[in-house]
Copies of this chain bind each other. A is one copy, B any other.
Amino acid sequence: MSERENLSRSDHPYRLINRAFHPEFQDNLQSMTVTVAGVRIGSEEKPVIIAGPCAVESREQTLEIARAVKEMGANMLRGGAFKPRTSPYDFQGLGEKGLEILALAREETGLPIISEVLDVRLIELVGQYADVLQIGSRSMRNFPLLVELGKYGKPVLLKRDMAATLHEWLCAAEYIAVEGNMDIILCERGIRTFTIQEYSRFTIDLSVIKGAMEKTFLPIVVDPSHATGNPAMVPAASLAALEFGAHALLIEIIGQHTDRSTIKCDGHQGIRPTVFRQIMIDIEHWWNIKSRE
């Protein structure tokens, strides 16, 4: 690694997003701010909370969750209309109908929307509805998608591949930046380790937050839901991510009374609105102390 670090700007594999080449971001704790419909993600700001269902499954489900998280203080709504699923027989999302439901939810709640795009041919479609386009973990190495989202220009949330080094993740961000789009938000979502089949499908890698901050000025989000895969760990993981300096959280929510077994996507890992409410209270306390320091 050390060799690469001594490279000059013109030779560096990620130069546009590299803190070392941006004198305006000398301080490691300072990040760029990405603004989405008035919501500012980045340093000095209060952490942004993005919440919503894993997948949009119905109008009722999405609106119920959107209203709940809005009322509890969330800043943005997440929801998948096109879902990358391990098996072809799994629910793949409602497609455009899902995007329409998200737009309805935005209209009602005022929350900007983040939704995943996993096919270069669907950027325009998703881009018509979503305020932030999400590149899922499984697409971090889909370079044509990165390039097209760089050209498209809307803010991008770039999830880390489950086995990506920090170097590879930052190079993926550079693919977007080099096309002229600097509105990039990084998202840590857990790495693959030997714990895979025991108590945690992935291992939440909090150290990468500080590791990334040393190398880049892009803001960083943590997804405690995928990173732990366990609703009982989401509150702790949320606060832990903030302690490490995360600028935002991306949290999966399920209906307050929904039977987990009826949920079509990752039903085991979402938290209920009452749990989310408590996280928001804890964050409020945490922020009050933090902002006084």
Contact = CB atoms under 8 A, between A and B. Distances in A.
Interface in A188-220: 191-200, 203-208, 210-212, 214
A168 to B, nearest CB: 6
A196 B196 contact: yes
A230 B210 CA distance: 10
A14 interface: yes
Given A165-B194, A199-B207, A13 B89 contact: yes
Nearest to A84: B143
22 contacts: A84-B141, A87-B171, A87-B174, A88-B171, A88-B178, A118-B143, A118-B144, A119-B120, A120-B121, A165-B194, A166-B199, A191-B195, A195-B205, A195-B207, A198-B211, A200-B208, A206-B236, A207-B230, A210-B236, A236-B243, A239-B240, A240-B243
Interface of A: 1-2, 13-15, 84-90, 118-121, 138-139, 141-144, 147, 161-163, 165-168, 171, 174-175, 178, 191-200, 203-208, 210-212, 214, 228, 230, 232-233, 235-237, 239-241, 243-245, 282, 285, 289
Given A166-B199, A239-B243, 17 more contacts: A1-B197, A85-B143, A86-B168, A121-B144, A138-B142, A138-B143, A165-B195, A192-B194, A193-B194, A200-B211, A204-B207, A206-B206, A207-B228, A207-B230, A207-B233, A210-B236, A239-B240
